[in-house]
Amino acid sequence: MSTPPEIIDALESILEIYFSGVRHRERAAFILCDNLVEMTCKTKAKQQNHRFDMSCNFHDACTAPGVILAADLKIRVVGYRNTRNNMQHASAAATVDSMHCATAILDVVKVIDHC
């Protein structure tokens, strides 16, 4: 099955932000990466089971039948989720560097390919 257009559009938006000259682009792109991982996993789970609850949490989406990420990839995306939670809920000043953001983008592509 091909990748849904909304997932491709979201990935393009992340790349446009990451390669833009805007301030805090790494922070914004990183947060959007986390959102896209969750959206991708939920979309795949819904394709596998039309009764899948799209309002479930991140962990349930990543471990849903038909999704189940490889252990190393899951560890990384859960780590990104923890960093994102810190950035959004604990410290408005928290951010990530360019390399960490780029790694998250590459892992989003891996999640998309997997799903």
Q: For residue range 64-75, what is the model confidence (pLDDT) as tens digits?
A: 988 999 999 999
User: What's the whole-model pTM score?
Assistant: 0.91
Q: Which residue has the tokens 């039309």?
A: 50
Residue in 34, 14, 114 with CA at minimum distance from that of residue 72: 114
Are the beta carbons of 95 and 24 closer than 8 angstroms? yes
Q: For residue range 19-68, what is the model confidence (pLDDT) as tens digits?
A: 999 999 999 999 999 999 999 999 999 999 999 999 999 989 999 988 99
Return the pLDDT at 1: 55
Q: Which residue has the tokens 């990748």?
A: 3
> What kind and span of H or E run contains 99?
helix 98-114
CA dihedral 6, 43, 62, 38 (to 10 degrees): 30
